[in-house]
Amino acid sequence: MDTVSIKWDNGVTQLDRIKDSQNPDMDKSGFYAILGATFDESSKTWKGLKLLYVGQAFEQTLRERIPQEHDAYKCVYDYKKNHSGTDLVVMIGLIEKSSIEKQTRQIFNDIECCLIFCNKPACNTTCQESYSGRDLEVTNTGDYKPLIEKCSCSA
């Protein structure tokens, strides 16, 4: 079984502020999760994180990929519209360690599918019911909540 560790950045960025984000990891390839959340003024933190969508950027940077049109984003924006006071935020993760030497599009696809299969984000349509990639264990580290820490996926 191949293993991959993804380190998720501390904190989130509002979806509509991705292009202006000062986070240097936005200019890399990696993975992202779109969440519904409410900002708590008193603690200055995002609360009630609801996983809506998991995606990846392989041949583009996260900053380029995240704002692009996607069929699933209708679901994401509908969630915001139907949940008053909720905003859309993004967390990003980069491969920290991997037993797979060369990173390819297929590996990124398998990691994304495994994350979707384990976490069941509300707005992803593929990989919800089954996983068909390589045997893979994905470990999430850093600020990965609300994602599950370990995802084991076998075809």
List pLDDT tens digits, range 44-76. Answer: 999 999 999 999 999 999 999 999 988 999 999
Rounded Cα distance, 95 and 117, in Å: 18
Instruction: Over range 107-133, report the average pLDDT.
Output: 96
**Gap between the Cα atoms of 65 and 61, Å rounded:** 6
* Percent of the chain surpassing pLDDT 70: 100
The per-residue pLDDT of the chain, averaged, comes to: 95
pLDDT at 149 over 90: yes
Cα end-to-end distance, the chain, whole Å: 11
Mean of the pLDDT values across residues 5-26? Answer: 95
> In one letter, which amino acid is 119?
N
Find the helix or strand (DSSP H, E) in which 91 lies.
strand 87-98
Q: What share of the chain has pLDDT > 90, as a percent?
A: 93
Give the number of other Cβ atoms within 10 Å of residue 89's Cβ. 22
pLDDT at 155: 81
Q: What is the pLDDT of residue 12?
A: 94
* pTM of full prediction above 0.85: yes
What is the mean predicted confidence (pLDDT) over 29-41? 96
Tell me the pLDDT tens digit for each residue of 76-117.
Answer: 999 999 999 999 999 999 999 999 989 999 999 999 999 999
